[in-house]
Amino acid sequence: MIKVQKVSRNYKTGESVVRALRQVSLEIQDGEFLSIAGPSGSGKTTLLNLIGCIDAIDDGEISINGQKVSTMNKEEKTSFRRQNLGFIFQTYNLIPVLSAYENVSFVLSLLDVPEAEVRQRTYEILKEVGLEGMENRRPSRLSGGQQQRIAIARALVKRPQIILADEPTANLDSKTGEEILKLMKRMNEKFGTTFIFSTHDKMVMEYASRLVQLHDGSIVSDERRQ
């Protein structure tokens, strides 16, 4: 479970201060498929980065599975992220000189997984996301949707409990975006992975089983859909 308690994050630029999150509280249960929506600048990325242990909070507390991540130091956060969290980005963030297989397998190499298991798990997850037969292709030889599938495989291969996705469909046409959403939903159901994704897109919000709306750094609605 993720517990966000009265979390605030301010950005100081010169003389001015942007209050990106204002006393936000939120509890997310294991296995949720949750969308964070809201207009540009409402704080979606800031909230995802704080839950993802990428950024530091100014006030409040975040705990994940009972561990207070908000008070961890940099090294502890890096290790926690590596073990427990997967990330999917709007721009895929793949390594261009690596093949689909290598983009996914290197994550396991960082976790000291034995070589035979790396191979087995990488082939398995690439098949799961619909990329069987494309393992040796570099990202530039794949479509945007296929590149995002690699990113989903890369996030899932270490079997994290939580996947955070910042605008995962923003660079895709609506049909491909919908396919990516369906794939994420299927992975959520199959593996019980918690998915938290941000979006502007109404179609994407429709897939969420819970929709949290932000406005000016505050939660203005929190609605369960099923």
HSE-CB at 165 with a 13 A cutoff on CA atoms is 32
Measured from the Cβ of residue 28, the count of other Cβ atoms closer than 10 Å reads: 18
Q: Which stretch binds ligand ATP (CB under 6 A): 22-30, 43-51, 77-85, 148-156?
A: 43-51
User: Quick one: 179 or 216, whose CB is closer to ligand ATP?
Assistant: 216
Residue for token digits 């899932």? 156
Determine which residue in the list 5, 31, 41, 98 makes contact with ligand ATP, applying CB under 6 A: 41
Q: Does 20 bind ligand ATP (CB under 6 A)?
A: yes
First to last CA, the chain: 19
Please report how close the Cβ of residue 13 comes to ligand ATP at its closest, in angstroms.
5
Please report how close the Cβ of residue 44 comes to ligand ATP at its closest, in angstroms.
4
Distance between CA atoms of 44 and 199, rounded to whole angstroms? 8
CB within 8 Å of 208: residues ≥ 6 apart: 33, 34, 35, 197, 225
Q: Which stretch binds ligand ATP (CB under 6 A): 22-30, 33-41, 102-110, 125-133?
A: 33-41
**23: phi then psi, degrees, rounded to nearest 5:** 50, 50
Q: Does 18 bind ligand ATP (CB under 6 A)?
A: yes
User: Where along the sequence are the contacts to ligand ATP (CB under 6 A)?
Assistant: 11, 13, 18, 20, 38, 40-46
